[in-house]
Amino acid sequence: MNLLGSLKYLVALDEHRHFGRAAQACHITQPALSNALRAMEKEFGCAIVLRGRSYVGLTPEGQRVLDSARRMLREHERLRQDLDSGADNPRGALKIGCIPTAMPIAARFAARLQARHPGITPAVLSLSSPEIEAGLENLSLDIGLGYTERLRALGLHLRVVPQYTEHYFLVRRREPAPAQQAALAPPFGAAIRWADASRLPLCLLTPDMHNRTLVDGAFAAAGVAVQPVMETNSIVTLALSAANGVVCSVMPGALVAAFRDQHGLEALPLIRPEMRTPVGFMVQASDQPSRTLNAALALAQEPAWLGQVTANAGALI
Whether 36 contacts 9, CB under 8 Å: yes
Lowest model confidence (mean pLDDT) among 181-185, 199-203, 282-286: 181-185
Q: Of 235, 281, 279, 280, which Cα lies nearest the Cα of 259?
A: 235
Does the global pTM surpass 0.85? no
Whether 104 contacts 255, CB under 8 Å: yes
What single-letter DSSP state applies at residue 181?
Answer: G
Q: What is the pLDDT at residue 119? A: 94
Interval 235-262 mean pLDDT: 90
Which CATH number applies to 168-275: 3.30.70.980, 3.90.1150.10, 3.10.20.600, 3.40.190.10? 3.40.190.10
Query: CATH number of the domain at 3-68, please?
Result: 1.10.10.10
Lowest model confidence (mean pLDDT) among 79-83, 168-172, 213-217, 265-269: 79-83
Is the confidence at residue 178, as pLDDT, over 70?
A: no
Is the confidence at residue 310, as pLDDT, over 90?
A: no
Interval 202-207 mean pLDDT: 96
Is the confidence at residue 312, as pLDDT, over 80?
A: no
Measured CA to CA in angstroms, residue 203 lies from 212, 220, 236 at distances of 11, 17, 12
CB atoms inside a 10 Å sphere around CB 100 = 22
Q: What is the pLDDT at residue 1? A: 53
The continuous run of DSSP H or E covering 115 comes out as helix 103-116
Query: CATH number of the domain at 89-165+278-313, please?
Result: 3.40.190.10
Q: Which residues contact 31 (CB under 8 A, 6 or more apart)?
A: none
